[in-house]
Structure 1
Amino acid sequence: MVDFAEALTKAVDNSGLSLERIQHHLAARGMQVSLSTLSYWRRGRSRPERPESLKVVTALEELLDLGEGFLTDRLGDKRPRGRWVGQAMSLEDMWDSRATDLGEVMARIDRAPAASTYLSVRDRQVIGPDRREVEMHCTGIVQALDDGVDRFLAIQLADPADLGVPSIETGAPCRLGRVRGEDATGFLVAEILFDRMLRAGETALVDYRVRMRPGADSEVCDRRFLRPVGEYVLQIDFHPDAVPARCYAFTRPSLQEPETALNDLWIGTTASTHIHVRNSKPGIYGVRWEWD
């Protein structure tokens, strides 16, 4: 039996409609779905699972003149939410209702990058004397999962109280490509370009810095992984004049599942703390703190 991605691709090709026209027809029916999501479904990089997405699939069956169940019957059982390796979580898993906003911003970067994943990544968050975020410095090793990988997408979401989306700059050996940011949605999406084209299995070093525009005290910092990661370090550096009363690590498999507090974190004499995660599953990993 032809799988969902192949069936959708053939149906779209046979219809003569572009993804942009399909998106327009779906919007006329009150269904908002990003071009990147439709593209990922076609390429098998993600698949619809949430109720809202399954409604879109049903609408596609009608729009593309397919029989009832032609696409939905090819989805099979829902993906397991446990320890599965080599597959990607969907944007909906990590961003919930904001996935549509993120997909729209991603779609403004013309070419979706070939698949890659972090082997290791280190984030260093700096908190200023006013208790507000100053910047996030990110370094890591990225491995290509396909041939032809020369970039990846960095994603940052501004807090609701922020004065706007942050800015971003890169350090050697990578450079900055196209950048799309929207104050309305709070998302910043930027291409981080490698210094060479990678084949599957090859690695590249990445280095970029995100400068925040905070409008209120900061209380949390996290990283959302769509794929498993070999090693993750999150370091929080507080200003000596702004040290929180309590700090603890947390994890969350997806936004559809509850947050779990792992343990209290000790803040050292340098007003710094960190978490270290190894061989992590896809999910959300972060640090929360309380000022009083």
Structure 2
Amino acid sequence: MTGFRQESEAGAVPRAENFGDALRTAIHRRDLTLDRIRSRLADRGVDISLATLSYWQQGRSRPERAKSLRALRELETILNLPSNALFDLLDPPKPRGRPLAPSGVTGTRLYGDDSPIRGVLGGSFERFNNGIVPMNLTESCTVDASRSLRLIRTMQVLRAVREDQDHFLVVHGVDEGDVMPTDIRVHSGRLGEVRVDHENGFLAAEIRFGRVLAKNETTIVEYDTVLGESAVPSRVHEHRFRNAVPSVLLRVRFDPAALPTRCHGYFRDSVPAAQKNRRRLLADASNTIHTYFPKCVPGVYGLMWQWK
């Protein structure tokens, strides 16, 4: 069983890989002109131009602002689509305004004012890894037949933005019912100090490069986070960034004996913030889902799945 796609009684889900194709297919099925759709949106109190609707279905732009997202909700109804059928295909928001400084956002901005991770990181909480920025992250997770997340394999390309950088701090947190890592196995680099807060479910591990990086030098760290069997089925995997990242790839492979019924990728502005830009994900022939995020702003990028 692969794909995990289900049909809804509200109407067929357009079988498309991106938002523009799905919208165009849904409009074609309903045999509606853009002018008629614009008129129906206006009847519902949402004024969207014909040019905007045309750009959406061509994939030249996507809904981002509040009015556009409201229009998208109405479109799903007008086109007789299940709730979130189009929302699930939206990509994460594109960065706007000036590029962020290499220092990124503060720990408080990312984790929240009262995050218990402050106790693990101590004085470095606000600006941990301040001299290093990730250029690329690939993270592959394995969920076993017991529905437990058992292995997270991480590879990052890092760049020094200050002189004399010799280590990188890895932070891992677990939700209630999940288990703390049983081991951190470093393949590129060397494991240094490890700090653990079992009560709040956080671990911070130092990965040493083995040499001192000058400004603008790059290095690669690669490590496995090994976890035991959890008391409740795993349902989510996230990676959190204080800095903008050019490229992020997250993958989860499921045991053939335990396949989820529905999967999504999503983005959050911070740990306390609600999910947005949810996107439906389908499995490939190896029972693996993935989501790729280019030009990532600081925040939380995640995968979630539901069990039968």
Answer yes or no: same fold by TM over 0.5.
yes
Figure out how many residues of one structure are paired with residues of the other and give that number: 208
Q: How does the TM-score come out when normalised to structure 1? A: 0.67
The percent of aligned pairs where both chains have the same amino acid is 24
Return the match for 1:136 from 130, 152, 166: 152
- Residues 178 and 234, structure 2, Cα contact 8 Å, conserved in 1: no
Aligned to 1:209: 224
In 2, Cα distance between the equivalents of 1:114 and 1:253?
A: 20
- Residues 165 and 187, structure 1, Cα contact 8 Å, conserved in 2: no
In 1, Cα distance between the equivalents of 2:265 and 2:130?
A: 32
Give the partner amino acid of 1:119: M
Q: How does 1:126-275 map to 2 (within 5 A)?
A: 126-172=142-188, 174-213=189-228, 214-275=230-291
In 1, Cα distance between the equivalents of 2:302 and 2:109?
A: 16
In 2, Cα distance between the equivalents of 1:103 and 1:281?
A: 22
Q: How does the TM-score come out when normalised to structure 2? A: 0.63
**Displacement of 1:113:** 5.4
**Displacement of 1:165:** 4.7
The structure with the larger Rg is 2
In 1, Cα distance between the equivalents of 2:182 and 2:246?
A: 27
Give the partner amino acid of 1:236: V
**Displacement of 1:144:** 0.5
Give the partner amino acid of 2:204: V
**Displacement of 1:82:** 5.5
SS of 1:146's partner is: coil
Change (3 A) 1:264 1:121: same
Aligned to 1:120: 136
Q: Deviations over 1:103-147 (max 9, x none)?
A: 2212399xx655101000100011000111101000010001100
Q: For structure 1, list consecutive stretches of 5 or more residues without a partner in the other structure.
A: 1-80
Q: Deviations over 1:15-73 (max 9, x none)?
A: xxxxxxxxxxxxxxxxxxxxxxxxxxxxxxxxxxxxxxxxxxxxxxxxxxxxxxxxxxx
- Residues 181 and 225, structure 2, Cα contact 8 Å, conserved in 1: no
Q: How does 1:67-86 map to 2 (within 5 A)?
A: 83=97, 84-86=99-101
Aligned to 1:104: 119
In 1, Cα distance between the equivalents of 2:180 and 2:301?
A: 24
**Displacement of 1:263:** 1.7
In 2, Cα distance between the equivalents of 1:230 and 1:138?
A: 16
Provide the alpha-carbon RMSD of the alignment. Answer: 2.0
- Residues 165 and 183, structure 1, Cα contact 8 Å, conserved in 2: no
Q: For structure 2, list consecutive stretches of 5 or more residues without a partner in the other structure.
A: 1-94
- Residues 181 and 226, structure 2, Cα contact 8 Å, conserved in 1: no
Aligned to 2:304: 288
